[in-house]
């Protein structure tokens, strides 16, 4: 299978192999026509597949190794990105990236998880996007910088989870996430959150409090990975497909219960098939959202942010007689 | 149920069966020191072993009773989950809810009460481990948020006693968002200078630890409580090593600077009482209007 195709894309993979084989042969008008026809079939099948992805297939797309990272979007949509490092307490956590940048000619602060992409060395360097306490503390330090100088914050969410290791516990991963949750409700500057990949539980939420929560069409956002949920509730991690359905972790599901505000469309076949197109689609949504939240006075924005999260879960509560 | 059920006086309008984790019967073998203890003696000792100070897990109502001076009022007791995701694993979540409700007499995993402790007006939320592992779903999140809002409105201290395995996965991302919701309410308390004491008991893990349990003006744990973000098994699978002795216990967290203090359950009320007197508004502040101007924000 070509490296970019997922298990459910096998019909595409077969055709792509044919295209590859034909491309290696001597080019003739007939072969060119054949390749073009095959590519049209690929696009058509891809369109069909992606029009009705199952929750588990969305999990695979959201975790695709070629899924654009925060830096892929920053490089395409932002200018003058200046990364800053470290939590001024313990270390620099490479699983969370932050820095100053310009967006639409306006200074903003960018913060986001980074899984490391497809390169093994990069993945290890980034700890596969599993941030440790110092990552969350670096993020808060940077966000306070934005607060001090009145610059909007744009947070990119893509992590499997906070790092479940001994040193995370020793250095207070719980406290680091908890403090971010509390303090992000007190930051007066606009905060936009983009869940563009994997919204992995508390590790995602730790930098995901904001005024507008955007989520990519094929991204996921969940309280627990489907494998973990299956292992606990079904006592069998192979039941991950069922768990992914039960958890309601897709963008449309989360939109329906008011956890996200907007779904960012992706190119057919997912953001990884066309990074430029994906960036351009995000640009439209981001620009609009930033204008909307920036137009509101700070105190009203803080109040609206509170009420937005305050309402989460109300759909699941009834008042019963004693 | 054991004989001691009858001896209990009703302590709240909706007082439920005591969901105590103390084994039933007249005699109990202590897992700490293996001694045989008379149940009655254990009960009058706040379910702490008189021989070795092992802390037995206690239920939410017993917890509230141990804090309040006398009468207290329960709040928001009628809130219940609708099973918003219509979640089914090996059995329907609705069924799990119903059997937990039948077993505990509670609608979900937290009880909120207000009353006096050491003479001071307070609001307390205590989690109930015997209700689906004390997990935090939409009802737990809502009730603790309302408890915080009530404390803010009355300008009285909030105490939350955590005892929870974390988020309730059968309510999906809605349960995750309760971490944010409760933290938002605590952000307001923090800004307004209203005291919040977090009491961490065995166990306090997952999303509960990574939100309100770690946000106290004081974070106080009972001895030997399991406190952490990731579960020990998950960590072992990640690092492929045995975890060190005492890892994620109260004493481990204290040693790493993550707790303010560890307090024996029998001293908890007195210790919190002293702390709350430290946190009382000074007389010079009392004439000021409520608001951030009266209290410097920590930065
Ligand atoms: Zn003992």
Classify residue A320: in a domain, yes or no: no
Chain A nearest-CA distance from B80, in A, is 5
Q: How far is the CA of B37 from the centre of ligand 1 (A)?
A: 8
- Closest partner residue to B81 among A171, A229, A317, by Cβ? A317
Q: B236 exposed, middle or buried (CB, 10 Å; 0-12, 13-18, 19+)?
A: middle
What is the SS3 assignment for B170?
helix
Q: Identify whether residues A38 and A126 lie together within a single domain.
A: no
Which of A299-319 are b and which e, b meaning 16 or more Cβ less than 10 Å from the residue's Cβ?
eebbeebbebbbebbeebbee
Residue A307 resides in a domain: yes
C-beta atoms of A247 and B85 within 8 A? yes
A269-295: pLDDT as tens digits: 999 999 999 999 999 999 999 999 999
**A271 and A138, same domain (yes or no):** yes
Specify whether A107 is located in the same domain as A221.
Answer: yes
Q: Are A63 and A102 in contact (CB under 8 A)?
A: no
Inter-chain CB proximity B172 and A181 less than 8 Å: no
Q: Number of structural domains, chain A?
A: 2
B211 vs A contacts (CB less than 8 Å)? 177-178, 181, 202
Residue A65, domain member (yes or no): yes
Q: Are residues A98 and A30 in the same domain?
A: no
DSSP-H helix ranges across A25-148: 29-51, 55-62, 70-77, 120-125, 133-148
Q: Evaluate whether residue B267 is within a structural domain.
A: yes
Expressed as residue numbers, the domain containing A145 is 59-311
SS3 B88: strand
CATH code for the domain in which residue B112 is found: 3.90.226.10
* Same domain as A136, residue A279: yes
The reply to whether A291 and A267 lie within a common domain is yes
Q: Does B63 touch chain A (CB under 8 A)?
A: no
Is residue B298 in some structural domain? no
Write b or e for each residue in B14-24: b if 16 or more Cβ atoms lie within 10 A of its Cβ, otherwise e: ebbbbbbebee
Q: Which residues of B are less than 8 Å from A257 in CB distance? A: 84, 173-174
B181, A310: Cβ pair inside 8 Å?
A: yes
Residue A250 within any structural domain of the chain = yes
Residues A28 and A141 both lie in one domain: no
Please name the residue ranges forming H helices in B105-230.
138-154, 172-192
In terms of domains, do A41 and A177 share one?
no
Residue A1 lies in a domain: no
What gap in Å lies between CA A110 and CA A89, rounded to an integer? 21
Residue A235 lies in a domain: yes
One domain for residues A203 and A179: yes
**Best of A312, A315, A319, A322 to mutate (most B CBs within 10 Å, chain B):** A312
Residues of B in contact with A181 (CB under 8 A): 179-180, 183-184, 210-211
Cis peptide before B203 (omega within 30 of 0): yes
8 Å CB contact of A164 and B234: yes
Q: pLDDT tens for chain B, 299 residues: list them.
A: 333 333 333 334 343 444 445 556 789 999 999 999 999 999 999 999 999 999 999 999 999 999 999 999 999 999 999 999 999 999 999 999 999 999 999 999 999 999 999 999 999 999 999 999 999 999 999 999 999 999 999 999 999 999 999 999 999 999 999 999 999 999 999 999 999 999 999 999 999 999 999 999 999 999 999 999 998 888 988 888 889 889 999 999 999 999 999 999 999 999 999 999 999 987 765 555 554 443 444 44
Evaluate whether residue B48 is within a structural domain: no
Strand duo B72-75 + B110-117: pairing: antiparallel
The verdict on B80 touching A (C-beta cutoff 8 Å) is yes
Q: How many domains does chain B fold into?
A: 1
Q: Is A322 inside any structural domain?
A: no
Contact (CB, 8 A) for A62 and A8 = no
- Partners of A236 on chain B (C-beta within 8 Å) are none
CA angle B157-B162-B165, nearest 5°?
A: 155
Alpha helices in chain B (DSSP H): 4-7, 39-44, 60-67, 93-104, 138-154, 172-192, 232-239, 250-255, 265-279, 283-286
State which residues form the domain around B148.
59-278
* Residue A72: Cβ within 10 Å count: 21
CA dihedral of residues A244, A246, A249, A254 (deg, nearest 10): 160
The gap between the terminal CA atoms of chain A, to the nearest Å, is 60
């Amino acid at each position: 299978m070509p490296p970019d195709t997922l298990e459910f894309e096998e019909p595409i993979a077969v055709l792509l192999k044919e295209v590859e084989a034909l491309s290696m042969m001597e080019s003739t008008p007939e072969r060119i026509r054949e390749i073009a026809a095959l590519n049209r079939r690929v696009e058509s099948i891809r369109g069909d597949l992606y029009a009705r992805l199952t929750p588990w297939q969305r999990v695979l797309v959201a975790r695709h190794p070629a899924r654009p990272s925060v830096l892929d979007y920053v490089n395409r949509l932002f200018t003058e990105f200046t990364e800053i490092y470290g939590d001024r307490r313990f270390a620099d956590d490479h699983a969370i990236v932050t820095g100053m940048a310009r967006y639409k000619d306006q200074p903003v602060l960018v913060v986001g998880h980074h899984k490391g992409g497809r390169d093994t060395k990069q993945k290890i360097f980034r700890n596969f996007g599993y941030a440790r306490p110092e990552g969350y503390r670096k993020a808060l330090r940077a966000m306070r910088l934005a607060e001090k100088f009145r610059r909007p914050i744009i947070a990119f969410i893509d992590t499997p989870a906070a790092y479940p290791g001994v040193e995370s516990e020793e250095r207070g991963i719980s406290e680091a996430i908890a403090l971010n949750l509390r303090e992000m409700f007190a930051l007066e500057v606009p905060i936009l959150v983009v869940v563009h990949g994997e919204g992995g539980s508390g590790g995602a939420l730790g930098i995901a409090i904001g005024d507008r929560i955007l989520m990519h069409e094929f991204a996921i956002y969940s309280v627990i990975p489907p494998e973990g949920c299956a292992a606990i509730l079904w006592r069998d991690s192979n039941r991950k497909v069922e768990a992914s359905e039960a958890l309601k972790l897709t963008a449309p599901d989360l939109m329906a219960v008011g956890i996200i505000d907007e779904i960012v469309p992706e190119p057919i076949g997912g953001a990884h098939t066309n990074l430029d197109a994906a960036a351009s689609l995000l640009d439209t949504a981001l620009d609009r959202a930033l204008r909307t939240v920036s137009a509101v006075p700070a105190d009203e924005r803080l109040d609206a942010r509170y009420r937005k999260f305050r309402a989460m879960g109300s759909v699941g509560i009834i008042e019963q007689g004693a | 149920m054991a004989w001691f059920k009858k001896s209990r006086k009703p302590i709240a309008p909706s007082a439920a069966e005591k969901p105590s984790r103390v084994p039933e019967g007249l005699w109990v073998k202590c897992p700490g020191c293996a001694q045989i203890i008379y149940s009655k003696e254990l009960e009058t000792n706040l379910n702490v072993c008189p021989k070795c100070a092992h802390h037995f897990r206690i239920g939410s109502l017993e917890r509230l009773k141990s804090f309040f001076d006398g009468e207290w009022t329960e709040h928001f007791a009628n809130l219940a989950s609708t099973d918003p995701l219509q979640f089914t694993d090996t059995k329907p979540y609705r069924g799990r809810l119903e059997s937990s409700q039948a077993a505990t007499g509670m609608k979900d995993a937290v009880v909120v009460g207000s009353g006096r402790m050491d003479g001071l007006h307070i609001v307390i939320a205590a989690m109930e481990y015997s209700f689906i592992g004390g997990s935090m779903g939409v009802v737990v999140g809502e009730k603790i948020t309302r408890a915080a809002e009530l404390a803010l409105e009355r300008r009285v201290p909030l105490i939350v006693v955590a005892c929870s395995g974390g988020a309730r996965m059968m309510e999906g991302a809605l349960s995750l968002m309760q971490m944010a919701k409760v933290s938002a309410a605590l952000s307001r308390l923090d800004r307004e200078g209203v005291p919040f004491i977090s009491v961490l008991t065995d166990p306090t893990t997952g999303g509960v630890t990574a939100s309100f349990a770690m946000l106290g003006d004081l974070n106080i744990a009972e001895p030997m409580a399991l406190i952490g973000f990731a579960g020990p098994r998950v960590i072992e699978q990640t690092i492929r090593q045995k975890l060190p002795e005492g890892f994620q216990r109260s004493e481990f967290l204290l040693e790493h600077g993550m707790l303010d203090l560890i307090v024996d359950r029998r001293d908890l009320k007195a210790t919190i009482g002293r702390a709350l007197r430290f946190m009382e508004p000074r007389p010079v502040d009392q004439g000021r209007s409520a608001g951030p101007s009266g209290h410097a924000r920590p930065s």
